[in-house]
Amino acid sequence: MNGNDAIAARARAVLTPNYRQAPVALVKGEGSRVWDADGKEYLDLICGIAVNALGHCHPAVVRALEEQGRTLWHVSNLFYTPRAVELAEELTRDSFARRVFFCNSGAEANEAMLKLVRKYHADAGHPERCEIVACVNSFHGRTLFALTATGQEKYHHGFEPLVPGVRHVPFGDLAALAQAVGPRTAAFVVEPIQAEAGVLPPPVGYLAAAKKLVHAAGALFCLDEVQTGMGRTCRLWAHEWEGVTPDVMSSAKAIANGFPMGAMLATEEVGNHLTPGSHASTFGGTALASAVALATLREIRAVLPRAAQVAGRLRAGLAAIPGGRVVGVRGRGMLLGVLVRGVKAGDVVNVARERGLLVNAIGDDVVRIAPALVLTDAEADRGISLLAEAIAAAPAAP
């Protein structure tokens, strides 16, 4: 009794019911392929929702995990570890960032970022500069401050009261942003591409103009690169496409290819305000996570040029799916939203899974594709044809 159905039944008996899980238990992965408890193989084009950037069980990452696992796991941040230092050096190389804080998830990285911007202004004698401006339909995670910054009310219900001092403006609307920022604003927080809103890129020039506007008002400019960063858009950070750098940025998801880790990166001026004792994380930047992340980062840098080629092929193939049910493809690099019409994205995802393809739905209209950066041409072609079949076979919906 260890097949998909048995594991699903046991899961429902012991786990909190907060996830809507597919009736599939995955037991093994290699590259862009995973296998379920009944031995069925899938092409994984969602990769842990943009987490396994190097695919499953990448040899260089496995080697780093095994070597560090035999050497040193964790010693607490009462001491330095060389791995964390090396990783921070690698992350800040060719970057706006000069200071790094390590944690364990995207929500924690955002929590650190939101706390830091308040502390920055408080230290400068302006504790009244405590307000956060974020975007409607944004997603920043589930801890209370990150959740409050998340501009989707459905995630707030039942958890009020939220953190005071957070307001939301429509994504892409500079006039609304200009109205919202003022002498009480600590920072504007925005995703370079609103992933959970349906893989929504900003209007051309929006981020650069937003940074200018926010700085002119004396506030900080923060980017949530939890999903878009670490090579997802075929540049290391999505903000590189926009010619704009943040004061503070969060990263997580792909940073250690599936080993839990998050990071907050900041300029020297801002980052130095996390003074001794002001913020901490027991597991943050532990030797094991840092070693895995270091191997991941080096490998991601190496595969980016090739990934950009495969991403181009993938995007063109998805956009050319016949039958009239695909009305557009948006996003960047290996973070793509396929816009569907006449079918429900959720139905497409279910039919695709039955046919051996893993993708994910955002709302009724968008199928998200976030493959491994090591996807091959052949795998891209197979993904396109499996998705085309699933879209054609999904029941018609008004």
Ligand X SMILES: *Cc1c(COP(=O)(O)O)cnc(C)c1O
Shortest reach from residue 172's CB to ligand X, in Å: 16
SS (H, E, C) the chain: CCCHHHHHHHHHHHCCCCCCCCCCCEEEEEECEEEECCCCEEEECCHHHHCCCCCECCHHHHHHHHHHHHHCCCCCCCCCCHHHHHHHHHHHCCCCCCEEEEECCHHHHHHHHHHHHHHHHHHCCCCCCCEEEEEECCCCCCCHHHHHHCECHHHCCCCCCCCCCEEEECCCCHHHHHHHCCCCEEEEEECCCECCCCCECCCCCHHHHHHHHHHHCCCEEEEECCCCCCCCCCCCCHHHHHCCCCCEEEECHHHHECECCEEEEECHHHHCCCCCCCCCCCCCCCHHHHHHHHHHHHHHHHHHHHHHHHHHHHHHHHHCCCCCCEEEEEEECCEEEEEECCCCHHHHHHHHHHCCEECEEECCCEEEECCCCCCCHHHHHHHHHHHHHHHHHCCCCC
CB of 289 to ligand X, least distance (A): 13
**285 is a contact residue toward ligand X (CB under 6 A):** no
Is residue 101 flagged as an active site residue?
no
**With respect to ligand X, which residue has the nearer C-beta, 44 or 108?**
108
106 binds ligand X (CB under 6 A): yes
Q: Which stretch binds ligand X (CB under 6 A): 83-91, 135-143, 273-281, 288-296?
A: 135-143
Residue 315 in contact with ligand X, rule: CB under 6 A = no
Size of the site for ligand X (CB under 6 A): 14
Tell me the window of 134-142, 212-220, 294-302, 312-320 that interacts with ligand X (CB under 6 A): 134-142
- Among the listed ranges 139-147, 177-185, 352-360, 379-387, the one in contact with ligand X (CB under 6 A) is 139-147
251 binds ligand X (CB under 6 A): no
Residue 5 bears catalytic tag: no
Rule CB under 6 A: is residue 111 a binding residue for ligand X? no
Label each residue of 314-351 as H, E or C: HHHHHHCCCCCCEEEEEEECCEEEEEECCCCHHHHHHH
Candidates 129, 140, 211, 332: give the one binding ligand X (CB under 6 A).
Answer: 140
141 belongs to the binding site for ligand X (CB under 6 A) = yes
Closer residue to ligand X, CB minimum distance, 131 or 224: 224
41 with 35: CB under 8 angstroms?
Answer: yes
Question: Does 224 contact ligand X by CB under 6 A?
Answer: yes
Q: Tell me the window of 14-22, 133-141, 268-276, 354-362 that interacts with ligand X (CB under 6 A).
A: 133-141
The single residue of 119, 211, 253, 344 carrying the catalytic annotation is 253
Q: Residue 4, interface with ligand X (CB under 6 A)? A: no
Nearer to ligand X, 58 or 232 (CB): 232
- 195 scored as a contact of ligand X (CB under 6 A): yes
Q: Is 253 annotated in the active site?
A: yes
Task: Tell me how far, at minimum, the Cβ of 253 lies from ligand X, in Å.
Answer: 6
Q: Tell me the window of 104-112, 119-127, 304-312, 345-353 that interacts with ligand X (CB under 6 A).
A: 104-112
Instruction: State in angstroms the smallest separation of the CB of 129 from ligand X.
Output: 23
Q: Does 139 bind ligand X (CB under 6 A)?
A: yes
Output 42 or 139, the one with its CB closest to ligand X: 139
Q: How many CB atoms lie within 10 A of CB 110?
A: 31
Supply the residues annotated as catalytic.
Answer: 139, 224, 253
Q: Which residues bind ligand X (CB under 6 A)?
A: 105-107, 110, 139-141, 191, 195, 224, 226-227, 252-253
